[in-house]
Amino acid sequence: MSAVWISVIVVGLATVAIKAAGPLLLARHAPPPRAQAALEHLAPALLAALVVTQALGGDNGGFTVDARLAGLGAGAAALLLRAPLLVVITVAAVTAALVRLVA
Amino acid sequence: MHPTSRRTYLDGVRAAAPIGVAAFAFGLSFGVLARSAGMGRVAPVVMSATTFAGSAQFAVASILGAGGGLVTAIVAAVLLNLRYGPIGLSAAGAFEGPWWKRALLAQFIVDESWAIAQRDDGRFDRYLLVGAGMLLLVCWTTGTAIGAVAGDLVADPESLGLDAAFPALFLTLLWPQVRERSRLLAALGGAAIALVLMPFTGPGIPIVAASLACLVGARNGARRPS
């Protein structure tokens, strides 16, 4: 079997298992209150990490400052003006595209 | 308390529509990259339909394309997808029914469907998650297929600024949560952990490590009645 298909199958099976792990492990019993409270704080912690890594992550780790950061800044400004989701992400994308066009 | 929800899968589809455009465009570029990396036409589409995780797939294609070796590609992709461990744990309460159904519906978890599915009380809505995940899966896989076949006809999604749509999406969905002080602390902690680790670890690890910031919530665990 070629390296391509081995990687497709192994990565696919691993990802299926990782995604299923949480819902399989936790669904039988409700966790104790402290653990439940920690779980409810997973989302903001992970979302914030996603904002940081998606805005600043380089292709091979490390930081890359580019038009994404300008796009995120413009999106944040739209957010402060109470713009809805569609407007925020459109503003972010258009700003990043314009910055790339000019730069 | 029984979680009565008036949401339907269609609400999830609608909520994900704006980001579906970006998922389609990046699916196109994954198809183009994967084919030029020697993955052929079929394998990239199978990968998009089954692995369904953009950054890990881009890593596999670029590592194989650069001659980086099978083990390197697999390890990089699995590290990138380890974040679905804590992400799946956070959303576990949304899934019900027999084990196979929970395992199957959990496959619709991607960063974007998970983020969209958050409710104001910090829990997750299964209908939003699965509906959003279905749309994103269709957009991502269709884009991959067209990119793998049509190749160079496709515009670069980064020239359209679509890579900036993702952090803006996550920021928008984070926004309503951080009005509560303990969640603001968790968000700041998660961002700080990711920022500190990014220069030193490969991609993937910073997000997994950031989940430790959820422990700030354990301090006031008895506060919230269930």
- From A83's Cα to the closest Cα of chain B, the distance in A is 10
| pTM over 0.90, yes/no | no
Report which of B81, B82, B46 is spatially closest to residue A6, judged by C-alpha positions: B46
Say what angle helices B42-50 and B9-36 make with each other, to 10 degrees. Answer: 150
Q: A48, B187: Cβ pair inside 8 Å? A: yes
pLDDT at position B80: 87
Between A62 and A70, where is the model more confident? A70
Radius of gyration of chain B (CA): 18
Q: What is the pLDDT of residue B3?
A: 52
Minimum Cα–Cα distance from A4: chain B residue: B39
State chain A's mean pLDDT as an integer: 91
**pLDDT score recorded for residue B63:** 85
A46 touches chain B (CB under 8 A): yes
Which residues, including other chains, have CB under 8 Å from residue B223's CB and lie 6 or more apart?
A37
**CA B102 centroid distance within chain:** 18
DSSP output for B14-50: HHHHHHHHHHHHHHHHHHHHHHHTT-TTHHHHHHHHH
Residue B6: its pLDDT value, please? 74
CA distance A77 to A83: 9
Rounded Cα gap, residues B140 and B136, in angstroms: 6
Q: Give the nearest partner residue to A79 out of B85, B106, B171, using CB atoms.
A: B171
- Whether residues B102 and A53 touch (CB distance < 8 A) is answered with no
**CA-closest candidate to residue B134, choices B118, B103, B110:** B110
| Predicted local confidence at residue B1, as pLDDT | 41
| CB pair distance less than 8 Å for A42 and B99 | no
A19-50 pLDDT, tens digit each: 999 999 986 667 788 888 888 898 899 999 99
Residues of A in contact with B226 (CB under 8 A): 30, 33, 36
* CA torsion through residues A63, B181, B164, B46, sign: positive
Residues of B with Cβ-Cβ distance to A102 under 8 angstroms: none
pLDDT at B225: 45
For residue A93, the chain B residues in CB contact (below 8 A) are 22, 160-162, 164-165, 168
Q: Find chain A residues with C-beta within 8 A of B191's C-beta.
A: 48-49, 51-52
Residue B220: what pLDDT?
A: 62
**Does the beta-carbon distance from B160 to A97 stay under 8 Å?**
yes
pLDDT per residue as tens, chain B (226 positions): 445 557 899 999 999 999 999 999 889 989 988 988 889 999 999 999 999 998 899 889 988 888 888 998 998 899 889 999 999 999 998 998 999 999 999 999 999 999 999 887 778 999 999 999 999 999 999 999 999 998 766 678 888 888 899 899 899 989 988 888 999 999 999 999 999 999 998 778 899 999 999 999 887 644 544 4
The reply to whether A93 touches chain B by the CB within 8 Å rule is yes
Which of A9-13, A97-101, B73-77 has the lowest average pLDDT? B73-77
CA distance B71 to B147: 26
List Cβ neighbours of B32 (8 Å cut-off, separation of 6 or more): B147, B148, B151, B152, B154
- CA-to-CA separations, A18 to B26, B101, B125, B206, in angstroms, rounded: 23, 15, 20, 17
| Polymer length in residues for chain A | 103
Q: Which residue, among B52, B24, B40, has the nearest Cα to B111 in the 3D structure?
A: B52
Side-chain-side CA neighbours of residue A97 (13 Å): 14
